[in-house]
Amino acid sequence: MPTALKNFSKFRYLLYELIKKDIKLKYRSSILGVLWTLLEPLLTMIVLTIVFSGLLGKGDDNFPVYILCGRLLYSFFSTGTKTALKSIRKNSSTIKKVYVPKYMYPLASTFSSYMIFLISLIVLVGVAIYEKVTITPAILGAIFPLIMVFFLTLGVGLILSVLDVFFRDLEYLWTVVLMLIMYTCAIFYKVESLKSVTNEWIFKINPLYSLIVNFRNAIFGRPLDMYHFWYALAFSAAVMLFGSFLFYKKQDRFILYI
């Protein structure tokens, strides 16, 4: 552990440069640039609200905020894991030439996605004000899902970045898995509004759904759901520990496959 911390301190400036490079590359060919960080979730929210408000959000004046809470967290998880997944192979030429702690690449990819995600929360604030959502002290509870979603994404990203070195088809498989995760996050519908939820356990075992539930609770002034809190915390910690262990054990073999 002391060696790892010493290495991290030594290469922290490189981490900053990698994060800056990832953000620049993301918007390199875009005319609006970082403004898309605000426009994309806003436009997605408008489309989903128009399509589903009459079907699943009828009678809910704050349905756009409900959608946006779920959409923002899922979007970060999806983008963060996909970029972390490709981070080792994408930087293979650098890895072959100079020594850099390899975990810097998935870490930088996750951090850059997280920074963009934090900026996009401005949209949520604006929409919540427009929809006249009452702000209460409970909103301070939002810090917990916001922190946990970072470590959940980083942990999953570390695992995927290792597996992708050895199994090149993982990128396509993960896209399918993300679709399943999205539909079990209840982004544009409420689980309790479904007429018959015979498989409610599918939602309960999805840690991202647990984070979204408590993020919404905080935004709407409700207390945190402690089942979802402890489940998401335990799952995020376990995935982070396992991802770090797997990465540490397999990183020396990367050079043989990239």
Torsion 20-150-73-251 (CA) sign: positive
Percent of the chain past pLDDT 90, that is, above it, reads 49
Is residue 6, in this structure, part of any structural domain at all?
no
CA dist 87 and 45 (Å) reads 29
Is residue 78, in this structure, part of any structural domain at all?
yes
pTM: 0.90
pLDDT at 94: 86
Query: Structure tokens of 20?
Result: 């800056």
Burial class (CB in 10 A: 0-12, 13-18, 19+), 36: middle
Per residue in 26-83, pLDDT (tens digit) is 777 666 666 777 777 778 777 877 776 665 555 566 888 998 999 999 999 999 999 9
Is residue 168, in this structure, part of any structural domain at all?
yes
Per residue in 182-197, pLDDT (tens digit) is 989 988 887 776 655 5
Is residue 3, in this structure, part of any structural domain at all?
no
CA dist 250 and 150 (Å) reads 23
CA angle 45, 174, 188 (to 5 degrees): 20
pLDDT at 195: 56
Structural domain that includes position 143: 13-256
CA dist 87 and 104 (Å) reads 9
Is residue 118, in this structure, part of any structural domain at all?
yes
Residues of the chain falling short of pLDDT 50: none
Is residue 5, in this structure, part of any structural domain at all?
no
| CB-CB contact of 110 with 78 (8 Å) | no
pLDDT at 198: 60
CA dist 88 and 176 (Å) reads 21
Is residue 197, in this structure, part of any structural domain at all?
yes
Our count of domains for the chain comes to 1
| CB-CB contact of 240 with 80 (8 Å) | no
Is residue 7, in this structure, part of any structural domain at all?
no
